[in-house]
Structures are given as structure tokens and as C-alpha cells.
Amino acid sequence: MPKVKKKGFYVFFLPLLGFWTLLIAIYLGKDFEESFKLVPTFFYFISSGLIVFNIQNLITGSEYDPIVKNSKTRGLLICLLISTLSILIEFSLKENVTNVTTEIQKIRDFLPTIFIIFSTLASIFLTGLFDYSNEQLEEKFLKRSAERNFSIESRDLWEAYLDQIETKFENSTKIQNEIKRIRNILPYSSFFRSEKSKTIMEQVEKINNEDNLLSVLKKYVK
């Protein structure tokens, strides 16, 4: 389970706590009505805390792909910026404006809170989305790594087999020419990246007849 490390606390959470303290000081220093601005402030504390916690785990963690890490960090920072601007706007607004209707006043009062909630939900969505993207990238990386390892192993086996039949059929011009052909395509042919190469290898190892061996090699090894 992700934890808040000491270094991460100083880098990420200490500035946030300082800003929270500033908001509390502004709240206490102004003559707000009872419970006025408490709701958006409460939501902001939760929203900013969750976003900074996710950013800290993202930056200090090593399991994320660099592209996913950068994209996710930018997205979370944008969410944090939106919620921070919303709470600052909320604290800069007057409690009551006499020249607007009650409905407009209510919309104006709740708009910053709506933006803060929206940024929180957006950060949660981004976290899930990029976690899924990272898992997909990891799966593809593991698959490519397995294919690469198989390809290297397959080519090594075929190289050893070619050395073996080169000696075995040293007097056969046809076999020697076929060996040269296979060695020319060995580095780049997709045949050696497939499971079929392993199957054909098992077949040709059992063949001792020159013509049969040549036929199988020409037919499958391309």
C-alpha cells in the first residue's frame, strides 16, 4: 500500500499544509457568516490532499512507464490548479450581493464547490485511466521481451544446428548452399521468431536423408 515517505512529505505535503494554514487564517480573519465557505473549504482539503498524495506516489514510484508518468502528473497538476483557483475565487467573493437574484446568488456560491468536486472526480478518473494504460504497456513490454528472448534462443539453436549439418554433409554442395541461404536470412527472418521454427527444428533433427532434409529446409525455412 502506498505510504507518505518523510522526504515526500517535505517536498509535496509541507507546501500544501502551508497553503491550508493560509486558508484557515483568511477564514478566521474575515467576518464570514456561520458555516459560510466551510463546505468548499472542506472539499478542497480532501481534493488537494488526494491529488498531492497521488502525485507523490507517482513521482517517487518506479513502476510507471515514463510517458504515462509525465502525462498523469500533468493531468493531476491541472486538477490541483483548478481546485486551488476555485477555492481562491470562493474566498475572494463577497457573501451576499444585493443586485443579483437569489437563484444567481446560489449558483455563484456553489460554483467553486462544483469545480472543486469536478477536479477531484477528474483526478480519480485520470488515476484509474493511466494505471490501466501503464498495465497495458507493461503487458506489451513483457510480451515483446518474451518474443525477443525466444527469437534469440531460436536463432542460437538454428546456428548450432547449421554448424552440425555443415560438418555432417560437408561433401554435399546442395546442403552447403542451403546452409548459406539460411544463414543469410537468420538475422531478420520472422520464421525464427515463431513457434514453427521450434517444430521444424525437431523434425529436421530426426532426418538423415540428404534429399528429405533439403526438401524440408527449402519448404519451411524462409
Residues 124 and 47 in one domain: yes
Residues 123 and 13 in one domain: yes
Q: Could you tell me which residues come within 8 angstroms of residue 154 by beta carbon, excluding any fewer than 6 positions away?
A: 192, 193, 197, 198, 201
pLDDT at 136 over 60: yes
Residues 204 and 94 in one domain: no
* Three-state secondary structure call for residue 171: coil
Which of these ranges, 8-17, 78-87, 102-111, 159-168, has the smallest mean pLDDT?
102-111
* Three-state secondary structure call for residue 181: helix
In a domain, 164, yes or no: no
In a domain, 110, yes or no: yes
Domain that holds residue 62: 6-145
* Angle between helix 66-92 and helix 14-29 axes, rounded to 10 deg: 10
Residues 47 and 138 in one domain: yes
- Asked if 66 and 138 count as a contact pair (C-beta separation under 8 A), the reply is no
Cα–Cα distance, 125 to 188 (Å, whole number): 43
pTM over 0.85: no
Residues 27 and 136 in one domain: yes
Quick: pLDDT tens for 174-209: 888 888 988 888 888 888 888 888 888 888 888 888
Q: What is the pLDDT of residue 142?
A: 78
Cα–Cα distance, 41 to 90 (Å, whole number): 9
Q: What is the pLDDT of residue 220?
A: 83
In a domain, 106, yes or no: yes
In a domain, 160, yes or no: no
Q: How far is CA 120 from CA 41, 65, 128, in A?
A: 13, 24, 13
Residues 134 and 215 in one domain: no
Q: What is the dihedral of CA 19, 21, 23, 28, to 10 degrees?
A: -170
Residues 35 and 131 in one domain: yes
Q: What is the pLDDT of residue 196?
A: 85
In a domain, 52, yes or no: yes
Average pLDDT, the chain: 77
In a domain, 41, yes or no: yes
Cα–Cα distance, 201 to 112 (Å, whole number): 69
Residues 63 and 105 in one domain: yes
Residues 135 and 197 in one domain: no
In a domain, 158, yes or no: no
Half-sphere exposure of 34 (CA within 13 A, CB side): 0
Residues 212 and 116 in one domain: no
In a domain, 73, yes or no: yes
When divided into structural domains, the chain yields a total of: 2
Residues 129 and 202 in one domain: no
Residues 136 and 184 in one domain: no
Quick: pLDDT tens for 72-112: 888 888 888 888 888 887 777 655 444 445 666 566 667 77
Q: Which of 145, 161, 190 is the last residue of a domain?
A: 145
